[in-house]
Structure 1
Amino acid sequence: MKIAYIGLGTMGQGMVHNLLKAGHEIKVWNRTAFDLPETLAGAAPQNTIAEALSGCELVMVCLTGPDAQKAVYFGEDGIVAHIAEGAIVADATTTDPELTRSISTAIAERNATYLDTPVFGSKGEAWAGKLDFVCGGDKNAFDRLAPVLEPLAATVHHLGPPGSGAMMKLVGNLLVAAQMESLGEALSLARKAGLNGDAVMGVFDVTDYSSLLIRNVGRATLAGDYAPSFYLRHMLKDTRLVRAFAESQTVSVPVTTLIGELYAAADNKGLGDRNASAIHAMLFELSGLRESSD
């Protein structure tokens, strides 16, 4: 299939890599031009969105958030202006559900179809083809898209009409943010009390409150590894999206609000370009601890 891929950040590069391995013909465009790495050999970089979309029946998108979407969809050289009739747009951006529905309407007016297809997972899952897709939009278009997602996905879910995938992504990221922050508090308490880190993780591995996030991130944090697979500044953006979405639904999210403020504080401390788990480094500091237990 001829596919245009818009957005070559950490997640986008992993997905393009797997699309190429699956034999698709990929044209790519990124807001900031850069030389493609060898891992994306075979992708064809384009100078404009119009060039990227030309001749493609599927457009896949993965951007940093709502501001980037507005520029990429509604600019003079935007997707809405150049999408072909009958094409499908599949957008993995974590974003505002209301904006998602606005984009869907604008694409429909061009006789094309928009699917919101955000993902759970980060850099490792993107490159391994183990992302979990949560999708909203027309079911027939989703059924056409699903085979393309297979080499990228551990699971693929259709949640309902346009905006459903975007909403599910924010529901899930509420839990991600809560686990990340509470893990930092738990590790701070365990370290300050003098518990052995390996022994603590051995318990975390087997208990009913464990999760893949707790197991993997916990070990990385104890080793002082905050290399970004999902930037802290992006987690801050997501907590703000969750709060806005909750307000639109008149749902109280007091703990998420507090966690968002902690992420804002961590970003203000210069941790924004480290992994989202770098909030643990701030919590350690508040507890009088070094960044790692080493």
Structure 2
Amino acid sequence: MYANGGQESERGKFMTRIAHLGLGIMGRGMVRNLRVGGHDVTGWNRSAPDLPSELLDLSLAPSISAAVTAKDVVTICLTGPDAQRAVLMGDDGVLCHAPVGTLIIDATTTDPELAREIGAAAADRGLRYVDAPVFGSRGEAWDGRLDFICGGSEKDVADARPVLESMAATIHHLGPVGAGAAAKLVGNLLVAAQLVSLGEALALARKSGLPDAALMGFLDVTDYSSALIRGVGRNTLAGDFSPHFYLRHMLKDARLITDHAHRLGVSVPMTAAAAEQFQAAVNHGHGDLNASGLHVTQFANAGLEKP
């Protein structure tokens, strides 16, 4: 299956030698579940990672080149396009050092054009590339319940599947390289719209004097409800904005969506307006809150105290 080999683990399961690059909120959970799945994982991060106790024994490489040497698979989860260019295409990047035949599985939310550029550059070097961004945040990553949206060849996605299954609730193949990145932006457009409308609705409800529990009681059961409304709604009303997915990353994704849509000639006025609201919230110092930290600014605009 993998050009560089692989071996049996002590539990008798096929053990893939994996370099995982990026040990942030999402990456830590991904590594946890790769190891639970019986894979041999070496980690790398651009800065010293803050690892939970369960990962303190994780083997950490001092460089990208050291991390990817003699690996079957490289899994990646970074903050966005700038980090991707540096980590994958830089002078000390993955494409310079990964052995021929290595399968690269990139879970970064990015520009579809950049995904295709990376895929082409990887192919030129005899490497295989699957863009596989995810839906889910910190909890889903830690529990192995991410939804992977993949772009790549049929064979490459099939070969990626045993690795992804360690981390996934579901796996979806959308088409060639770049299709996963495009599908992720489609989904995040809907996330952005729900976050903005939920904040406005909750501010209106709070200003109207509606009790929080009764409000969520009917929002739970209506036909327009969603997991985001049910979960994020309760957290906002409780004033809980601990980061599962940073607001500054939501701003980055909203800009990616509008840029991608404009290149294709698709009008996305609601998403453009949402991006401006995310920008304003970041400007007010809320970028390191959860994406729902937007609601702090929306409540303030309604003349309300912080939720």
How far did residue 39 of structure 1 move?
Answer: 1.8
2:159, 2:153 → 1: CA distance? 10
Q: Which residue of 1 aligns with 2:95?
A: 80
Q: Say whether residues 1:244 and 2:259 are aligned partners.
A: yes
Q: Which residue of 1 aligns with 2:41?
A: 26
1:254, 1:199 → 2: CA distance? 33
State the TM-score, normalized to the length of structure 1.
0.98
SS at match of 1:213: helix
1:3-31 Cα deviation digits (max 9, x unpaired): 00000010000000111111110011101
Q: Which residue of 2 aligns with 1:127?
A: 142
1:140-185 Cα deviation digits (max 9, x unpaired): 0111111211121111000000100000000000000000010000
Q: Which residue of 2 aligns with 1:140?
A: 155
Matched residue count: 292
Q: Say whether residues 1:213 and 2:214 are aligned partners.
A: no
Amino acid of the structure 2 residue aligned with 1:141: D
Q: Say whether residues 1:105 and 2:120 are aligned partners.
A: yes
How far did residue 42 of structure 1 move?
Answer: 4.0
1:158, 1:229 → 2: CA distance? 25
Q: Say whether residues 1:9 and 2:24 are aligned partners.
A: yes
1:276, 1:31 → 2: CA distance? 23
CA contact 2:193–2:274 (8 Å) conserved in 1: yes
Q: Say whether residues 1:223 and 2:245 are aligned partners.
A: no
Q: Say whether residues 1:62 and 2:77 are aligned partners.
A: yes
CA contact 1:25–1:43 (8 Å) conserved in 2: no
Greater shift in the superposed pair: 101-110 or 41-50:
41-50
Amino acid of the structure 1 residue aligned with 2:200: E
1:62-99 Cα deviation digits (max 9, x unpaired): 00000000111121110110121111000000001001
Greater shift in the superposed pair: 170-179 or 71-80:
71-80
> Which 5+ residue runs of structure 1 have no aligned equivalent?
none
How far did residue 291 of structure 1 move?
Answer: 1.6
SS at match of 2:245: coil
Amino acid of the structure 1 residue aligned with 2:121: A
1:217-249 Cα deviation digits (max 9, x unpaired): 000000000001100000000000000000011
How far did residue 35 of structure 1 move?
Answer: 5.8
2:92, 2:98 → 1: CA distance? 10
State the TM-score, normalized to the length of structure 2.
0.94
Q: Which residue of 2 aligns with 1:94?
A: 109
CA contact 2:152–2:176 (8 Å) conserved in 1: yes
Q: Say whether residues 1:199 and 2:214 are aligned partners.
A: yes
CA contact 2:23–2:49 (8 Å) conserved in 1: no
CA contact 1:236–1:263 (8 Å) conserved in 2: yes
2:114, 2:277 → 1: CA distance? 26
Residues 35, 288 of structure 1: alpha-carbon distance in 2 compared, 3 angstrom cutoff: closer
How far did residue 36 of structure 1 move?
Answer: 3.8
Q: Say whether residues 1:263 and 2:278 are aligned partners.
A: yes
CA contact 2:24–2:49 (8 Å) conserved in 1: no
Task: Say what the alpha-carbon RMSD is for the aligned residues.
Answer: 0.9
2:47, 2:57 → 1: CA distance? 19
1:34, 1:250 → 2: CA distance? 41
CA contact 1:20–1:42 (8 Å) conserved in 2: no
1:87, 1:121 → 2: CA distance? 26
- Give percent identity, aligned residues only: 56
CA contact 1:115–1:136 (8 Å) conserved in 2: yes
2:119, 2:219 → 1: CA distance? 42
Q: Which residue of 2 aligns with 1:162?
A: 177
2:52, 2:291 → 1: CA distance? 25
